[in-house]
Amino acid sequence: MTVTKWPPIFAILVIQAIVFAGLSLVLPSANAIVGFAIPVFWQMCGQGVASAVITKTFKFGWGWVIGQLVAPPMVILALASGLPMWIYPTILILLVLVFWNVATNRVPLYLTNTDTSAALLKLIPKKKTVKFVDLGSGLGGTLRYLASQSAENQFYGVESAPLPFALSWCLGKFSGNHNLKFRYRDIWKEDLSEFDIVYCFLSPVPMARLFAKAQAELKPGSLFISNSFEVPDHTPNKIVTVKDGRKTELLIWKI
Ligand SMILES: C[S@@+](CC[C@H](N)C(=O)[O-])C[C@H]1O[C@@H](n2cnc3c(N)ncnc32)[C@H](O)[C@@H]1O
């Protein structure tokens, strides 16, 4: 079955819907067996457990599985809490604006740490001026750090999640770094030919396609650097292991 190829947000909603339909069918028999009407909260706990098990069966990551487990009972708790109804759509809209690319590209938002940014700085050649791009630049922290430490080079962020882009753009302006620009754009629409160094911290999902794009568009001698995620069937030319808590690996290919 191709569930794992669907956009995950769609797949998890379909799983919840199928489980809901299945449990609705067996609920009358379950009530008869236990001898009382099973409270809605416990029904939703069952909904969460069944959805989580099916989601794990389809090899989704633990984040999705835990989300599937806790979401149904949380909805009941939230409704019972008496909070004003506008809060729920507001939270949902904010989450969508931040985690825009989880649903479509399977890339969540997590951030490059300072030790890794410092390791990236060391990889920038000193002899010539370079253009460095962070594909999926998130809140832009890595680029603000690099731009402040390396005034002679140009730094670009490409981001399509609305809220992280807006924040990175504002923080970039406040930082006063004139060698720093953010583009509100899908990384697949960005022409990479102008860049000397491409950095990305995405997920395993887009790596093969992104590396093919980099190979097609980057100038010979440019660097393609992936934080943590390998490119299937392509061994990196160099791996830098950062001395941080998670021993981050920067995988580096020379094009
Ligand atoms: C794991 S975060 C990394 C953020 C930042 N590069 C850092 O290292 O701190 C990945 C980012 O890529 C963005 N992203 C994923 N797919 C994208 C796409 N197709 N176009 C633009 N941005 C994308 C996500 O919205 C997210 O902000």
**Same domain, residue pair 70 and 121:** no
**Same domain, residue pair 126 and 242:** yes
Residue 210 and residue 218: Cα distance in Å, rounded?
A: 11
Among protein residues, the one whose CA lies closest to atom 27 of ligand 1: 138
Q: In 195-242, where does DSSP find H-type helix? A: 207-217
**Same domain, residue pair 143 and 39:** no
**Same domain, residue pair 15 and 132:** no
Nearest ligand 1 atom to the CA of 111 is: 9
Residue 24 and residue 33: Cα distance in Å, rounded?
A: 15
**Same domain, residue pair 131 and 71:** no
**Same domain, residue pair 137 and 181:** yes
Residue 61 and residue 55: Cα distance in Å, rounded?
A: 9
**Same domain, residue pair 156 and 216:** yes
Looking at residue 97, its pLDDT comes to: 78
Residue 96 and residue 162: Cα distance in Å, rounded?
A: 9
Q: Ligand 1 mean position to 188 CA, how many Å?
A: 12
Q: Ligand 1 mean position to 3 CA, how many Å?
A: 23
**Same domain, residue pair 139 and 185:** yes
From 99, 85, 82, select the one nearest 9 (Cα to Cα). Answer: 99
**Same domain, residue pair 250 and 130:** yes
Residue 123 and residue 90: Cα distance in Å, rounded?
A: 42
What is the full per-residue pLDDT of the chain (255 aa) written as tens digits?
Answer: 455 556 667 788 889 999 999 999 999 999 999 999 999 999 999 999 999 999 999 877 788 899 899 999 988 888 888 877 777 778 878 887 777 777 666 677 778 899 999 999 999 998 789 999 999 999 999 999 999 999 999 999 999 989 999 999 999 999 989 999 999 999 999 999 999 999 999 988 899 999 999 999 999 999 999 999 999 999 999 999 998 877 889 999 999
With residue 227 as reference, give the H or E element that holds it: strand 223-227
DSSP 179: T
Among protein residues, the one whose CA lies closest to atom 20 of ligand 1: 186
Beta strands in 25-130 (DSSP E): none
Show which of 60, 82, 104 is a domain's final residue: 82
Nearest ligand 1 atom to the CA of 157 is: 6
Mutating to test ligand 1, I would choose from 100, 107, 109, 190 the residue with most ligand atoms within 8 A of its C-beta, which is: 107
Q: Is residue 107 part of a domain?
A: no
**Same domain, residue pair 121 and 235:** yes
Looking at residue 3, its pLDDT comes to: 59
Domain count, the chain: 2
By residue range, what is the domain housing residue 131? Answer: 114-254
pTM score, whole prediction: 0.75
| Distances 191 to 13, 14, 93, 244, 254 between C-alpha atoms, Å | 35, 36, 30, 32, 18
Helix, strand, coil content of the chain in percent (nearest 5):
55, 15, 35
